[in-house]
Structure 1
Amino acid sequence: MSSQAILDTMAKVVALLAFLLFCWADSKDLVFQPSSMIATGPRIKAYLLGNIKDISLNVRTVFPSKLTGSIDPPSCAAEETLWNVTTEVVGMNALQVNMKLNKSLHLCGDNETDCCPKPLCVLETLQLSACVGNTVKASLLIQVKIHAHLISANPGSANQTIIPNQVYEPLGSCPCDLTPQTCDIRCCCDKDCSPEELKLFELHCFPGPFGGQLPPVPDYQCSAQREDSPDWFPFLCVISPPENNPYLGLFYNGDKITPKPRPSFQMPVLSAPVFNIYKQGNPIFTMDDQLFTIPQMAIGHCVSNAPVAFLENFSFKCLNLLDSCPTDFPLQTRPSDLRVQVNNGQGGDVTVEVRDESIGDLSNFLSNADITPDGGLVCKNVTLALDYTFYWKGNLITNITVIRSVGTVVLNGRVKLTTRYSAVFLTRDYVGDSNSGNPGYQVGKPVIAGIKRTENNTFSVQRTSLNLWKPVRDGLCSTAEKQPVLFALNSTSGCLLLVSLQNLTQCELLRDTVGSMQANLITATYAAKSGNPDSETEADWIKISYGNSSTSKGDGEGSCSGIPSHIHINIWSLVNETTEGNAQRMIQAVQVQSTLSTWTLDCGGGDFAPCADPAEAEMFEVTSSVTFIDIPVRTGPPKTRFQINFTEYDCDKNDVCWPQLAFPLTKYYSGEPHSQALAKGLILVFFFIAAAVLGTPWRQIRQAWNNSSRTVIEDS
């Protein structure tokens, strides 16, 4: 509620009270205002209006009759209750009555009396009587229903939030629980979901730890023993604590922080991190240890003060709705505010150089507005763009420039203003190309493509990207934008093209128009194999193959065939090497294929307008898609027919694996190098043979042999 609404409400209450006091100023009757009350707290306030001379107040507890449900008539008899009554004269004929509960409202502990034995602490009906002598002049019926106050047993730690060790315990036991006190769809661990809501999506829950579902215990764990487990299971199972799991530290993001007690309405002041030199991704700081910020897009919204990361280029557009001239940053800036002293990364400072640029044509910045300066509200020097250029060398920022683009905006009502903000890091006077991996592609990074240059005879590629449709606003192709193809992410998108009967009479022109639209998505002729290719190394690039699914053309009346309405990109990738234990994904082949279709106006359903009116248009889909295909990795020569059919000794197809009988001596044991395992195994065999030769059974055999030999000699 706004402050003006609160003041209006208070004025009405005061006026109503003044009116009531005026009405009862000369009256000899007494009356309580309000006439009945429902109290839920320990304090009650009421007014007694009329002739308040020689008035006494009595409070008692009343009970409704079990037969009739009625309450006994008011009485002036005094009765002891839990309520203290005080009065205050607020006028010649008005008395303010205050009642306060004389009882503690916290739940009872051990050996406590002045407390609440249960959560519903007070439940009673009070009767407040105004008496003159023994005569009741007015009465007020109050229904009291007060609950106990739930107070923490350890209030001293109420201002501290103890975060457990995030290395071994996830910060959130239910990561998909994003909305408090609301059931998140497909989040089966959300405690806010009722059993009825869970039944709606219990078969489609988010898998894995992000859905709150921990992976099942592996069969080889000792804790996974079942009733049907074999007898030897306890001797060969693996003992591993539950903290040692594949998701160790998945939600870990820094050390735990115990905040200091402070008022909840104050934001905590975080100290700036200490650093020696800039590294890629580190935030840039000013000389007063504050983050250097530029307006950017974050989570779908424009943020006026977003930090800038070292060597991270960006370019964003922000949409602003204007119905008056802006007066605040970033739509109104001064050169002096932009001349910030920035820490260069080695303790020195770099001052931002500001260059102004005046823009006269605002057609690229304004929409649904009259861009002519005639009439309307004129807003001068509106900041339309801030383009920053950072010059760097090694880990040092050498210079910073910003081009401030300003213009005059004429407001005829509410207009939409699109502003632009960008940052580019330059070294040796050229823009460093952003990579998508080192060397293998990273999932979610743009696929790098290029166009072969023809200036000289050497191989050189100018970087570009493979694009898909990105529909915006109304979804029409005339307003659609392009978005890059992201590695390992399959996608399908498109836009709508308005086609009339008149367009379908010029099929060749329609085919060329749609074909040129699709060709603008992909202009590259080469694709990079790795995420950090060299523009002048031909081995780092592969040629893109183009083709059509069909070439037939059969135009008819009111229809056109051979329209390249769909373009599909197939990308084959392969894991062909490992760097520092991490698999590197490379692109092996790229194919771009156009699907030709026939467009015919649909006049069914009673809508004959597109077929009757040559200018009436119908929407047709122009689509694009990409599919990533993984090439399986071969780890050895192909198997022979004998190896494929003879599976007696195949450990992957049999419950009994004979080659694993001598486990430490075979290739199946990978706990240590095979040479060491073989040496240790032979030593064990030697000790076994020595123990057998020198042990008790062998001595008995030798003794029996000697006895038999001695007997033979004596007989002879």
Structure 2
Amino acid sequence: MANVVDILFPSFNSRVFCVLLFISWAHTQNIVVFQPSYLTTTGPTVTALLLGNTSDISLNLRTVSPNNKTGSIGSPSCVAEVTQWVLTREQVGKTAVRVHLRLDKNLRLCGENETDTDCCSKPLCVLETLQVSACVGNTPQASMLIQAKIHALLVPANAGSDNKTVIPNQVYQTLGSCPCDLTFRACDVRCCCDKDCSVEELKLFVSHCLPGPFGGQVSPAPDYQCSVQSSENSPDWFPFLCVNSPAENNPYLGLFYQGDTIASKPGPSFQRPDMSAPVPVNVYVQGSPIFTSKDQYFTIPQKVLGRCVNSAPVAFLNNFNVKCVTLLHSCPTGPPLQTLPTDLRIKVKNGQGGDVTVDVIDEVATDLGQFISSTDAVASSDEQLVCGNVTLALDYKFYWKGNGITSITLTQTVGTIAFNSSVALTTRYSVEFLNGEFVSEPNSGNPGYQVGRPVIGGIVDTLGNNTGTIQRTSINFWKPVSNGLCSTAEKTQILFGENSTSGCLLPVSQQNMTQCNLLRETVASLQAALITATYVAKSGNPDPLTMTDWVNISSYIYIPVVTQNSSTAMEDTTSSCYGIQSHQHIHVWSLITGMVDGIPQRDIRALQVSYSLSSWALDCGGGDISRCVDPLETQLFPITSSVTFTDIPINTGLPKTRFQINFTEYDCDRNDVCWPELAFPITKYYTGEPYSQSLAKGLILVFFFITASILGTPWRQIRQAWN
């Protein structure tokens, strides 16, 4: 039974205001007060607040009764009595205490001959008045009256059973043939299939049974049943087209059957699933987790869904470089920020039946500027906190060959940090797989490019033996961050199949406008830094030693045609410069070369980079002439880059002749009226079935038409007229 406390206030806002007013008033007067001071409860729990200076307050509980003559309760008392209630307190603030009372008695109604005293002898179990006093020493400061009126809980004798028939889920447990049987071991009225009904009970409602199969009665036979129509009123076609089916065969037969059951599967749960033990692999393939000699995942801190995770498995041939920011209030005591070199020298399975041990190289960081970004790190007081041997970076290098790991080298960077109250520490974790001296690069498909994977670029790397190889590099475009300026903008890789446009802003002053050649070179160098590659890979897994896997990147500058009457400036002035390579456009042509497991494989056929020239002029209009007066006042000009992907059609077909282009009368694809379609289904324009079958069926129809014409009434009249 719930606790009912009735406090009448006009609204919730008024209630909160009154509570705050009580706290403020009690605090200023240095007194305590109960809120509320009187309440009525019908449940076994009571909660109230004691407001004011509660530092030296003690609580006492006793049972009181009104005076027979005056009806008053009397003054509060600091003498506690033994009651059937348990009084507890909880400090919820500096000037508030939550007072909680709980009935220490079972509210179950006693049986007839029961001798247990922990039960209610009457239905009205508790009827008493309680007084809670707040005292300082033996002096009462405030009191609260509680009128308790609690009834016993009436629990049925057969609480463990129910008189309702539980209808199980038909999918997991078979369902009976009488769905209207809802009461267990009792006759349900109008349920004629209820086995609990006697013959006498069925006679009372046998003519009013629930209709339909849900009442245990099969639906009446439909009109197409042969047993429904009589020979007198049935149509002439009925004996040939009626259906002869038994009455048990009805549309609801599948609802009530005794069939097999299937095991119930647990549904989805929001609880944390139990992680199964990792299953080690015999050999490593790209993307498979790396295991330690104890058959556990080899883990280091990584970013998962944008957040840093201290223990994330390392995947074979997957490079990464992440930074994690940790706010420290005290010195770290455990990994990954406090790790001994002996803990890092673990044995890792090499994927070929053996183990390799991580070789740890210790480095001490002298410049902490790249690791500490909080201004509070510079400690000046005597109470500064100094933390030594803090792990600042873990850089792993995995050397691999085939499907195994040959060796692992770890460079651990440690340092000593000092701060007052807190510091923001940026740590770095990286993994790099090297095949000999070459860094393993992730592919963008196998073999063709997959949508959303980076476009692979390359530059020629001439080795000492005059053997040329292609070194991978990225093809980028702008990724503005922070304030959007080109000086702070980052670069992001071009993803295959995704058209994009981005840019950054370059501040230009009048002083820069006086050096247009330098400005043009600056903008051109910014655009050229995006694409350093001279080749682009045809497929998603190119061979660096095979030149046929690469395509040259073409580049040109688009120069607009300017007429004599054009207003476009083609010469430099004191506040304008022309010929600025402000826009870079990357155009990629791709072609579908095949299918692998239903996935189209796309190859890059060509990549072209074009630059558009524009004129930049300082805007001194609108009353703001500061840019043209002050040589250091800057104006922001956009530098943009874009990428477009174009699919080359697989088969364009033979070119149409002039007759096919101009003459459309008999072209069914370009004309609403198609005369050859009138000869369905004999002509080839009918595509509903093979041409041989449509031709045979068409000839059969012609044969039937001729036969009907010869044997029909018109031919008979012709013969009669001839005779």
- Whether TM-score is above 0.5 comes out as yes
What are the Cα deviations for residues 554-609 of structure 1, in whole angstroms up to 9, with x where unaligned?
22223333222222211122224444543221222222122233333344555554
What are the Cα deviations for residues 441-466 of structure 1, in whole angstroms up to 9, with x where unaligned?
11111111122345677654322121
Aligned to 2:37: 35
Aligned to 2:613: 596
Is residue 397 from structure 1 mapped to residue 414 from structure 2 by the alignment?
no
Is residue 550 from structure 1 mapped to residue 546 from structure 2 by the alignment?
no
Aligned with 1:311 (options 310, 317, 332) = 317
Q: How does 1:441-480 map to 2 (within 5 A)?
A: 441-453=449-461, 460-480=469-489
**Cα pair 1:37 1:141 within 8 Å, conserved:** yes
Is residue 533 from structure 1 mapped to residue 542 from structure 2 by the alignment?
yes
**Cα pair 1:660 1:668 within 8 Å, conserved:** no
Is residue 520 from structure 1 mapped to residue 529 from structure 2 by the alignment?
yes
Structure 2 Cα separation of the partners of residues 345 and 520 of structure 1: 40
User: Structure 1 649/356 Cα, relative in aligned 2: closer, same or farther at 3 Å?
Assistant: same
User: Structure 1 523/45 Cα, relative in aligned 2: closer, same or farther at 3 Å?
Assistant: closer
Aligned to 1:7: none
* 1:35 CA displacement: 3.4
Secondary structure of residue in 2 paired with 1:554: coil
- 1:421 is matched by which residue type in structure 2? Y
Aligned to 2:564: none
**Cα pair 1:44 1:99 within 8 Å, conserved:** no
Is residue 279 from structure 1 mapped to residue 277 from structure 2 by the alignment?
no
**Cα pair 2:376 2:422 within 8 Å, conserved:** no
Aligned to 2:438: 430
Aligned to 1:632: 649
| Segment drifting more, 324-333 vs 536-545 | 324-333
User: Structure 1 537/503 Cα, relative in aligned 2: closer, same or farther at 3 Å?
Assistant: same
**Cα pair 2:393 2:414 within 8 Å, conserved:** yes
Structure 2 Cα separation of the partners of residues 89 and 406 of structure 1: 57
Aligned to 1:292: 298
- 1:505 is matched by which residue type in structure 2? T
**Cα pair 1:295 1:304 within 8 Å, conserved:** yes
What are the Cα deviations for residues 249-308 of structure 1, in whole angstroms up to 9, with x where unaligned?
xxxxxxx974899xx987623232464433222222223332221222222222221221
Q: How does 1:57-206 map to 2 (within 5 A)?
A: 87-88=84-85, 98=103
Is residue 336 from structure 1 mapped to residue 342 from structure 2 by the alignment?
yes
User: Structure 1 42/373 Cα, relative in aligned 2: closer, same or farther at 3 Å?
Assistant: closer
Aligned with 1:502 (options 502, 511, 514) = 511
* Residue correspondences, number: 510
Q: CA RMSD, aligned part only?
A: 5.4
**Cα pair 1:277 1:396 within 8 Å, conserved:** yes
**Cα pair 2:559 2:612 within 8 Å, conserved:** yes
- 2:320 is matched by which residue type in structure 1? F
Is residue 585 from structure 1 mapped to residue 602 from structure 2 by the alignment?
yes
User: Structure 1 515/579 Cα, relative in aligned 2: closer, same or farther at 3 Å?
Assistant: same
Aligned with 2:668 (options 637, 640, 650) = 650
What are the Cα deviations for residues 527-564 of structure 1, in whole angstroms up to 9, with x where unaligned?
22222223333332222222223387522223333222
**Cα pair 2:535 2:551 within 8 Å, conserved:** yes
Aligned to 1:224: none
User: Structure 1 413/522 Cα, relative in aligned 2: closer, same or farther at 3 Å?
Assistant: farther
* 1:53 CA displacement: 5.8
Structure 1 Cα separation of the partners of residues 145 and 378 of structure 2: 74
Aligned with 1:384 (options 392, 396, 413) = 392
User: Structure 1 654/271 Cα, relative in aligned 2: closer, same or farther at 3 Å?
Assistant: farther
What are the Cα deviations for residues 370-398 of structure 1, in whole angstroms up to 9, with x where unaligned?
99999976543332322222233333333
Aligned to 2:566: none
| TM-score relative to the length of structure 2 | 0.57
* 1:366 CA displacement: 4.4
Structure 2 Cα separation of the partners of residues 286 and 508 of structure 1: 60
| Segment drifting more, 374-383 vs 44-53 | 44-53
Aligned to 2:180: none
Q: How does 1:211-250 map to 2 (within 5 A)?
A: none
User: Structure 1 608/446 Cα, relative in aligned 2: closer, same or farther at 3 Å?
Assistant: same
User: Structure 1 414/621 Cα, relative in aligned 2: closer, same or farther at 3 Å?
Assistant: farther
Aligned to 2:500: 491
**Cα pair 1:438 1:532 within 8 Å, conserved:** yes
**Cα pair 2:392 2:426 within 8 Å, conserved:** yes
**Cα pair 1:283 1:309 within 8 Å, conserved:** yes
| TM-score relative to the length of structure 1 | 0.58
**Cα pair 2:366 2:415 within 8 Å, conserved:** yes
User: Structure 1 50/360 Cα, relative in aligned 2: closer, same or farther at 3 Å?
Assistant: closer
Is residue 562 from structure 1 mapped to residue 579 from structure 2 by the alignment?
yes
- 1:441 is matched by which residue type in structure 2? Y
- 2:633 is matched by which residue type in structure 1? E
**Cα pair 2:680 2:686 within 8 Å, conserved:** no
Secondary structure of residue in 1 paired with 2:498: coil
Aligned to 2:589: 572
What are the Cα deviations for residues 291-329 of structure 1, in whole angstroms up to 9, with x where unaligned?
221222222222221221122222223344456544443
Structure 2 Cα separation of the partners of residues 413 and 89 of structure 1: 44
Secondary structure of residue in 2 paired with 1:503: helix
Secondary structure of residue in 2 paired with 1:514: helix
Q: How does 1:670-709 map to 2 (within 5 A)?
A: 681=693, 685=696
Structure 2 Cα separation of the partners of residues 43 and 330 of structure 1: 48
* 1:468 CA displacement: 1.0
What are the Cα deviations for residues 115-155 of structure 1, in whole angstroms up to 9, with x where unaligned?
xxxxxxxxxxx997689xxxxx99768999xxxxxxxx99x
- Seq. identity, %: 48
User: Structure 1 37/624 Cα, relative in aligned 2: closer, same or farther at 3 Å?
Assistant: farther
**Cα pair 2:128 2:149 within 8 Å, conserved:** no
Question: Which sections of structure 2, spanning at least 5 residues, go unmatched?
Answer: 1-21, 50-58, 74-82, 89-98, 110-125, 132-142, 151-160, 163-171, 173-263, 561-568, 713-718
Structure 2 Cα separation of the partners of residues 88 and 686 of structure 1: 96
**Cα pair 1:87 1:96 within 8 Å, conserved:** no
Q: How does 1:407-418 map to 2 (within 5 A)?
A: 407-409=415-417, 411=419, 416-418=424-426
Aligned to 1:302: 308
User: Structure 1 49/599 Cα, relative in aligned 2: closer, same or farther at 3 Å?
Assistant: same
Structure 1 Cα separation of the partners of residues 317 and 422 of structure 2: 38
Structure 1 Cα separation of the partners of residues 403 and 281 of structure 2: 12
What are the Cα deviations for residues 400-420 of structure 1, in whole angstroms up to 9, with x where unaligned?
222222334454776554432
Structure 2 Cα separation of the partners of residues 646 and 274 of structure 1: 68
Aligned to 2:365: 359
What are the Cα deviations for residues 491-544 of structure 1, in whole angstroms up to 9, with x where unaligned?
122223233333233222222222212211111122222222233333322222
Structure 1 Cα separation of the partners of residues 446 and 696 of structure 2: 48
User: Structure 1 95/665 Cα, relative in aligned 2: closer, same or farther at 3 Å?
Assistant: closer
- 1:517 is matched by which residue type in structure 2? L
User: Structure 1 102/550 Cα, relative in aligned 2: closer, same or farther at 3 Å?
Assistant: farther
Aligned to 2:114: none
- 1:516 is matched by which residue type in structure 2? S
Structure 2 Cα separation of the partners of residues 90 and 531 of structure 1: 74
What are the Cα deviations for residues 613-660 of structure 1, in whole angstroms up to 9, with x where unaligned?
333333332222211122233252122333344364536865879579
